[in-house]
């Protein structure tokens, strides 16, 4: 992972960052970020301004919440201070129906985090899976109503 980070930090464009990630495996791309799975970790790299905001949002959610409240959110291991990238624990992905069922199994503490950080609940429900230890967790929690408003502007 250290080599990947070192190479990413030397990049000056999105396409360069994509090429770096591609060297190491399959790159998953969303509208604002791209991801690479490395063992039991995932590196999420911002593709645009919204991607930076989503990385920052995940950082703020994870480190701005009580430990007992973030049990259902993927752990953050490392991050770039400018939020170009963050490294999280890998969580399995599921189809919406299964993901929604997993969300319903979580205790009410997940709602504490959603409402405290103004996250879009519908997005969280779609991003649920299992950690390597079998704990139900959300793997993508960087979309807040504040970011949604910025997209519309």
At residue 112, does pLDDT exceed 80? yes
CA–CA distance, 126 with 110 (Å, rounded to integer): 14
**50, 44 contact by CB (below 8 A):** no
Instruction: Give me the pLDDT at residue 109, please.
Output: 86
Q: What's the number of domains the chain is made of?
A: 1
Instruction: Give me the pLDDT at residue 153, please.
Output: 59
CA–CA distance, 127 with 121 (Å, rounded to integer): 10
| Helix, coil or strand: residue 27 | strand
Distance of CA 118 to the CA centre of its chain: 16
CA–CA distance, 110 with 129 (Å, rounded to integer): 14
Give the predicted TM-score (pTM) of the model: 0.93
pLDDT band, very low/low/confident/very high, at 101 (cuts 50, 70, 90) = very high
Per-residue pLDDT tens over the stretch 43-90? 999 999 999 999 999 999 999 999 999 999 999 999 999 999 999 999
For residue 74, what are the domain limits?
Answer: 2-152
């Amino acid at each position: 992972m250290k080599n990947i980070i070192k190479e990413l930090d030397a990049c000056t464009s999105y396409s360069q960052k994509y090429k770096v990630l591609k060297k190491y495996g399959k790159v998953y791309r969303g509208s604002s970020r791209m991801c690479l799975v490395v063992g039991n970790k995932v590196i999420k790299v911002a593709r645009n301004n919204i991607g930076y905001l989503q990385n920052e949002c995940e950082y703020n959610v994870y480190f701005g919440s009580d430990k007992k409240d973030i049990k259902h959110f993927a752990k953050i291991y490392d991050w770039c201070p400018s939020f170009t990238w963050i490294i999280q624990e890998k969580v399995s992905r599921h189809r919406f129906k299964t993901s929604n069922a997993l969300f319903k199994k979580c205790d009410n503490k997940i709602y504490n985090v959603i409402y405290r950080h103004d996250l879009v609940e519908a997005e969280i429900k779609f991003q649920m899976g299992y950690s390597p230890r079998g704990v139900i967790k959300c793997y993508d929690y960087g979309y807040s109503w504040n970011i949604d408003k910025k997209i519309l502007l």
